[in-house]
Amino acid sequence: MTESGDLLRSSIVTYNNSNHSIEYAGIFDGVHEKANTIFYDGVISPPIVSLLACGFDCRVSDKFTYIDLVACPHPFLDPAQTYIFDIRTENPVELAHYLSGNFQLFTHLSISQLIAAFTSYPAQIHQSASSSTRLLWQYLNLVEKRITSKTKISVIDLI
């Protein structure tokens, strides 16, 4: 997933030493992978950002609809809205557990919308420093671009 929230399929993402993505290429575009290439089956994203855990007032932006999923566990979600979701933790295992128990709530949101709502959108508000940590989202329905009850999130370190 790019910083702008685009979902890339069958792609090579090149990172620099500061862990910023510098190049995207399709694996079928004639680009050859470089030495030390690691292949991941899933979606790579930035880390989770919990605005509540960081002590932020969550009404700081008109650009996003903020939802504390602990205080409001079953909200009505409109796919046309741009959300920030918060479960009051930045632990990917806890988020994966939450999503597996509540995946029906999110089935009408795309993978890109969902991942950005937990990662890149709150990071824009928090303006957090770049981290070398990335998350690997696995067992997704990539055909329909949706999560499943078996979606798993794990930490990967790209450097």
Taking only the tens place, the pLDDT of each residue in 5-29 is: 566 666 666 666 665 665 666 666 6
What is the pLDDT at residue 37?
66
Dig out the tokens for 41 from the structure: 């089956």
What is the pLDDT at residue 45?
86
Taking only the tens place, the pLDDT of each residue in 70-123 is: 999 889 999 999 999 999 999 999 999 999 999 899 988 999 999 999 998 888
Determine the Cα–Cα distance for residues 82 and 103; give it in Å rounded to an integer: 18
> Whole-model pTM?
0.79
Determine the Cα–Cα distance for residues 20 and 13; give it in Å rounded to an integer: 10
Give the mean pLDDT of the chain. 81
Determine the Cα–Cα distance for residues 26 and 67; give it in Å rounded to an integer: 35
Dig out the tokens for 156 from the structure: 């990967």
